[in-house]
Structure formats: C-alpha cells, structure tokens
A and B are shown apart, each in its own frame.
Chain A
Amino acid sequence: MVMTKKIGSPLLKKDAVKLRAGDRLLISGELLAVRDASLRKIFSAKSGPARIFRGKTVFFAGPAPAPPGKASGSIGPTTTARMTEYLPGLIRAGARALIGKGDLSPQAKRLLVEASVPYLVAVGGAAALLARTVVSSRIAAFPELGPEAVRRIRVRDFPAFTALDSRGGSLFARRAGR
C-alpha cells in the first residue's frame, strides 16, 4: 500500500526500518548535507570527524548560494552512485538514512540493506521547489569548500520517496529485466 508518510529527521532506528519502498515521504527536521569533496576530507582524516554522521539523515547535496532574504538557494540531491566508496564509512559512523538520487550497484544496495539504512530519493532538478522547504541552512564544516561544505539544513515537509528499504524492497527492482 503506497501512502504519504510524514516523518521527522533525525529518524529513530525503529522508524527507519518501517519505511517501505514506494512510500512518498514529507520530511521535517535536520538533514546533514555532504558531497564528493567534503566526504573525501572527512574520510581521509585520521581522527574521527565522521562521528558527525551518528543517527543523521545524510543528504548528498551541494546547494546554490542563498540570495539575500532567502533561507536557501536552490537545493537538490546529487548522484548517490558517486558516493559508493564512502558508504561503508557512513554506515560505520552510524548514518541512519541516506537521501540522494539515482540507482546504486547491487553491492551498495546489499550493504545498505544489511545495515538497515534506507535509501531515499529526492527529485533531482526540482531544486527551486525543494528550496521552499528549507527553514534554515548553515555551514557545519569546511567553509572553504564553498558549495561542497558540510551543511546542517532544517527542512519542513521536504518531499522524497523511499527507493530502497531495510528489507531490500526497491523501486529500482521494477525495471525491465531485473
């Protein structure tokens, strides 16, 4: 049964595992935005800034600058497949759920399912619409990376879909020949 679920973020583990592939979600709360350059920095460090991921909803994103008077510039998911090498680290660091866009390799999916970390997909290229759901956005680390800085983003009714759930249910599996 497909339904729209309102969920809070960060998610409790017991709620994360209740998500089902195909759910339409409206997320309210905090997302932690990271992407290529910030993940490279975090996971190449010897000591553990990776602990910032504990319990968090990790959003693979690099927003456009906020024009004066707006909480955020356009913001949307970037391609999750590019973050594959960091997935084991994110899981070890205790990330609770991931938001990105696009399909994942079978190995990456297995990794997420085994860890009961659901993968949510937000609509790429709907970034003006998603910006409207941002209540606040501030840099948490690496301001020198500009659009790739780590950001804490508070959202209200941020729309997404459960693409891969903790039981292995997957929207991608509906593709021809799979």
Chain B
Amino acid sequence: MLGLLPAVIVTDVKELARDSEMREVRVERITEAVAELCGRANLEADPRLLELVRKRRREAKDRTARAVLGMILKNAAAAREERLPLCQDTGMVVVWLDLGREVRLTGGELEEAVNEGVRRSWRENYFRPSVVRDPLARGNTGDNTPAVIHTRIVPGSGLRVRVGPKGFGSENAAAAAMLPPGAGASGVAKFVVERVEAVGANACPPLVIGVGVGGTLEKAALLAREALLLPLDYRNPSARLRKLEKNILDRVNRLGIGPQGLGGAPTALAVRALSYPTHIAGLPAAVNLSCHVYRHREKRL
C-alpha cells in the first residue's frame, strides 16, 4: 500500500513513523532530573541575572542601592563556596512537564516521581521545608512536598522537565484582574505598575516581572508564572508584547522603590509577557513577581 504512494508522501509517513516510535522512560529519570534541577536552581545564581545586577550596580547613583546590589553579587559567591542555598526560602516547587505522546512511563507514578525528586533534593541539600499539608490547618510536611505540577501532552517522543522553586515573599505579591475588553495594553500596564507600586518592595527587588494576558483567569495566572521561566536574554517574538514589556519596565523603574525597597534604582531588571486568545467580553491580566533570585532550570530527557 505504501509503495503506491508518491515519494514525498512516503517520506512524510516514514517521518511520522519515526516520531511515533514509542519510547519507554523510567520515572526514576524524572525523579533524578527534578532533584538535580531543584538543587541547581537554589544553589547556583543565574549568570545572566548576575550580569544584569553587575551592570545596574555600575550605573547606580544611590549608595544604599549600590550596597544592596553588591551584597547580591557577594551572596552568589558565598552560596557557591559554602554550598548553601542563595535564599533560605528555597520555595515551593513548581514543575512543568512537556510529555511527548509517544512516551510510555514505566516504573512508577508520574506525580510521585516528581515529589520524590523534591524530597531527595531537600534532604541532600539541607533546603528549608516550607510547605504545609493543609492551607487552613497548616502543619509542615517536613520534606517540601508536594510540588505544584503542570503536565502537557505534546507531539513526539520528547520529555522536557522545567523546574521553578518559588519563594513566597515574591509569590505573595502576585495578582490577577479581569479587565474590561477595551482596557488594552495601557490598562494591563496600569494594573501591573500599580501592583508593583503597592507590594513590590516586599518581593525582594530588583524584580523580574512576569505578565500574563488573555485566556481565562487561571490561564492568565499560568502565563504570568510561566513567563518567569524564560531566559533573561529572551526576546519576545511579538512586537506588541515587547512594547508592553518596555513600557512596564520603564514605569516601574521610575517608582523609586529600588533594591530591597530601600530607594533608588533599579526596581526591576526585566519584564516578560505571554499572551493567549481570550473571550470577546474580557481581558484577563495577571502579574507574578520574581525576586532577584531568579530560579528556573530545565532539562530534556
């Protein structure tokens, strides 16, 4: 049957066949990846972040701002030398899994494998257990589990693991709003800048600001969070979003909140925005702040 088809189609079919080859992945490999990525995110500073801090420190006119930025740089070295986490709040772990539909997981359950990775990393690195079992009754779980896990099924046989431990000094500063459909980019920028003005000082500036626009309430929140996984040299492919990012960054840096909220500049190092189609009747917008310990790591299995 295949032999009767034109050559070009046959090629496509062959490629499809290769793509659709089932691949077996033992979940232990996911455990290992999560453990490794949690460890590195909390122990090793993002080199691009340090580069930005160094640059802003050279430009800083304010003595306090310069001193704070200097301590951030020294801390990265201290963490490396002492093998201690950059921040005592080693965060609640958020994990994104892009799971190829041709991957067959064996040897255990996916979510348990992720949580075992968190548990292992916390035990091995003396990270701080910061998760409570019940949001109302509280009670520390003792091993920082569970993680918050977002799994997507994607074409092919790949498997990408992304990890972002998030401290709650910055997570507490996040917010979402259901703006009217005509609010536009200026409405989104106003919402974000006002949020930073109100609570940015508590989120350990200089900040990286994640913005999510569109979708539904929860989609906008997910986009704002996912924007904080982007590398700092990421260039937004959308000119409209690039303009929004720049507008927000310029305005936030005129607020004068400054490093650790002690005045001067910078208040933020970067803004990253992601968008999604939305309903005719609305414009959901969300903002999530990252402290200067910009923690995100990924790995392909």
Q: Which residues of A contact B (CB under 8 A)?
A: 2, 22, 24, 37, 61-67, 70, 73-76, 78-79, 81-82, 101-103, 121, 123-129, 131-132, 145-148, 159, 161, 163, 171-172, 174-176
Contacts and interface: CB of A to CB of B under 8 A. Distances in A.
Given A37-B138, A161-B64, A175-B257, A124 B84 contact: no
Given A24-B67, A66-B126, A125 B140 contact: no
Interface string B213-231: 0000000000000000000
B138 A132 contact: no
A125 B262 contact: no
Contacts of A126: 71-72, 74-75
A125 B291 contact: yes
22 contacts: A2-B64, A74-B85, A74-B87, A76-B87, A76-B88, A123-B71, A125-B75, A125-B86, A125-B293, A126-B74, A127-B89, A129-B71, A145-B140, A146-B142, A147-B128, A147-B129, A159-B71, A172-B263, A174-B256, A174-B263, A175-B256, A175-B257
Contact residue range for chain B?
35 or more
SS of B interface (majority):
loop
Interface in B132-190: 138, 140, 142, 167, 169, 172
Given A76-B88, A103-B201, A125-B87, 6 more contacts: A64-B126, A64-B128, A103-B261, A123-B260, A128-B85, A161-B68
Contact of B140 (A75, A79, A101, A147): A147
Nearest to A175: B256
B75 to A, nearest CB: 4
